[in-house]
Amino acid sequence: MTTSAAKSEGAGKILHGPGRYDFLLWLLTLGKETAFREKLLRFAALKPGESVLDIGCGTGTLAIAAKRQVGPAGNVFGVDPSPEMIARAAKKARKQGVEVSFREGFAQSLPFPEAQFDVVLSTLMFHHLPKSSRPEMAAEVRRVLKPGGRVLVIDTGRVDRNKKSIFDYLHGSHRVDLEEVVDVFSSAGLEILETGAVGMLRLHFTVARVPGR
């Protein structure tokens, strides 16, 4: 989302307005952000007991929804470079009585050991990275995924200037081609399982997996 932001070298856009971020998502989803996030999660096909990482977790709504799907036996972590986003996400999880671990960190240098996660999620954040940093993120995703682990990437596709919706205007000029997502993650050694249109707000998805198991 486009909010007040600061740039850190190589890190891309870092959002520092959690209140405005949540308001824009509320506006875009007509007050149904949780339902929106749950629809996105269906492409991840989460299973009870899985370990999940949400990269660029923002204010935590997706990570909280993921925790509800993997249940008490599963573990969910959210990582974001913005301390303001992390603070709001942690507060939101506590308020809802959901156990999710949030921490500061960058997509290009994830603060987790190798082969820790069954699933990695990246929704509406890949486009914030500079093109030069996107392969670094993909390499980190591969590193922290277990053999057979999978990643779900959802982002915004390009649109004709004359066919923009309110989402396109509010979201700004940030776009990433589906073909680029596929190329970046396949070049990192992941197997592309499925791609396509999400079916809402001009979003596209990619599901890939680490070979093995």
Q: What is the mean pLDDT of residues 193-210?
A: 92
Using one digit for the tens of pLDDT, what is the confidence trace for 86-96?
Answer: 999 999 999 99
Q: What is the mean pLDDT of residues 203-211?
A: 96
Please name which of 22, 31, 32, 11 lies closest in space to residue 80, comparing C-alpha atoms.
11
Taken in order of first residue, the domains within the chain and their CATH numbers are: 5-209 (3.40.50.150)
Res 182: pLDDT: 97
> Cα–Cα distance between 63 and 45 in angstroms, integer?
14
Using one digit for the tens of pLDDT, what is the confidence trace for 67-77?
Answer: 999 999 999 99
Res 175: pLDDT: 76
Residue 8 has pLDDT above 60, yes or no: no
Using one digit for the tens of pLDDT, what is the confidence trace for 134-190?
Answer: 999 999 999 999 999 999 999 988 654 545 544 444 444 457 899 999 999 999 999
Using one digit for the tens of pLDDT, what is the confidence trace for 24-50?
Answer: 665 566 566 677 778 899 999 999 999
Residue 103 has pLDDT above 50, yes or no: yes
Residue 199 has pLDDT above 90, yes or no: no
Q: Please report how many Cα atoms fall inside a 13 Å half-sphere around the Cα of residue 29, on the Cβ side.
A: 18
Residue 140: exposure state from Cβ atoms within 10 A (0-12, 13-18, ≥19): buried
